[in-house]
Amino acid sequence: MSWFYRIYHFALKCIVIFIGIPNPKLHQGKTGLLDAIKALGLKSGDNVLVVTDQVLLKLNLYQVVENTLRESELVTHYYADVLPNPTITNVEDGLKVYQQHQCKAIIALGGGSVLDTGKLIGARAVKPNKPVTKLKGLFKVLKRLPPNIAIPTTAGTGSETTVAAVVNDPTNHAKYAATDFCLVPHHAVLLPELTTSMPAHITATTAIDALTHAIEALLSINCLKFSRERALEACRAIFEYLPKAQQDPQNLEARAQLLLASHYAGQAFTRTSVGYVHAISHQLSAQYGTPHGLANAVLLMPVLTWYGERINQQLALIARYCGLTSLDYPIERQADDLLEHIERLLLDLHIQTTLAEVLPDDAALLAELALKEAHPDYPVPHFMDPSACQRIIKGIAPTP
């Protein structure tokens, strides 16, 4: 079936080349937030749905958005019960608030889970007779969403610039994505001050999530010039500014650079798709509730190591661009230098190498589901077989 997968990947590449994928209008800082709200084109007194979570409410991080909406004479209504792994129920409950108050726009404020929920609430608002389960897959919405803004509070998912929205179906222990050009938010606002209160562990795992997006975008056989440039810039910024943000959580320059890196990585992978790190991590989140960024951080090195010398060219390119190696070294040494740098970074960030919840007995099923997700949707450089996938999963299980 590999020939069929490659035909499918070529078709996806043609879509990017000949049709193109929209970008959100990027705004930065508090002035950018006001500009984004004005750009929604709403009238005084219009109702706006703000989608967020309980943590952000308790930390009062929503206040900057609330104040700016009030200055713009708009009325806010909140749906703030989004879970770390958002569920279909989250989307439906948010939709009820949107419809009850006849909202005219949606502002999603939070991490990737919140931003994805905001997208799906918007999709359901314009497709009221189509349940979330029917939005799974490609181009199931095909209708412009209500005016919206995405404001990330973690520098990781890049959801404020992507065509996808991921949701969990707890009943079936499944995690799947709706993918459609209309799911790209209309406006993205980057406010680094909203990220300074993130715990060090969350800062680390979300940034490694963004790094994974960038690396898997570069590994994709569909990686074109724009994605390559964005992914490389994201890698460089993460390697430089993640340690600075860890050392000084209030460093606004470092926080701003990590937000921008996440944004760039999102732009890259939304045009190239992701790979086996994500394919496996999605199953861990669905089966065990493992946080997405942590799952990616644990799986990144095992998957890159499985590829081996087959991805030396791409890894060496990253190493050279980020100044992590010598131009005089052979390609193999340059690739090794990058892997060593990533391994050292994960160690410095206190990222674990195993996940206590992973059961070796589940490996066969998890591998089956991961490869079903990856094939044919992900334009990976080389195909993984079930036995290799099972070995990776068993390798991140705790030692008996």
Q: Over the chain, what HEC string results?
A: CHHHHHHHHHHHHHHHHHCCCCCCEEEEHHHHHHHHHHHCCCCCCCEEEEECCHHHHHCCCCHHHHHHHHHCCCEEEEECCCCCCCEHHHHHHHHHHHHHCCCCEEEEEECHHHHHHHHHHHHHHHCCCCCHHHHCEECCCCCCCCCEEEEECCCCCCHHHCCEEEEEEHHHCEEEEEECHHHCCCEEEECHHHHCCCCHHHHHHHHHHHHHHHHHHHHCCCCCHHHHHHHHHHHHHHHHHHHHHHHCCCCHHHHHHHHHHHHHHHHHHHHHCCCHHHHHHHHHHHHHCCCHHHHHHHHHHHHHHHHHHHHHHHHHHHHHHCCCCCCCCCHHHHHHHHHHHHHHHHHHCCCCCCCCCCCHHHHHHHHHHHHHHHCCCCCCCCCCCHHHHHHHHHHCCCCC
pLDDT for res 168:
87
Confidence of residue 79 (pLDDT cuts 50, 70, 90): very high
Please state, rounded to an integer, the average pLDDT across all residues of the chain. Answer: 95
Q: What is the mean pLDDT of residues 273-296?
A: 94
pLDDT > 70 in the chain, percent: 100
Residue 75 has pLDDT above 90, yes or no: yes
Query: What confidence category does residue 84 fall into, taking pLDDT thresholds of 50, 70 and 90?
Result: confident
pTM equals 0.94
Residue 232: its pLDDT value, please?
A: 98
Question: Rounded mean pLDDT of 217-229?
Answer: 97
pLDDT at 1 over 90: no
Confidence of residue 145 (pLDDT cuts 50, 70, 90): very high
pLDDT confidence of 371, banded at 50, 70, 90? very high
- Please compute the mean of the pLDDT values over residues 286-292 and round it to a whole number: 90
Confidence of residue 173 (pLDDT cuts 50, 70, 90): confident
The pLDDT of residue 301 is 98
* pLDDT of 364 above 80: yes
**Average of per-residue pLDDT across 211-240:** 98
As a whole number, mean pLDDT of residues 160-177 equals 87
Summarised one tens digit per residue, pLDDT across range 318-348 is 999 999 999 999 999 999 999 999 999 999 9
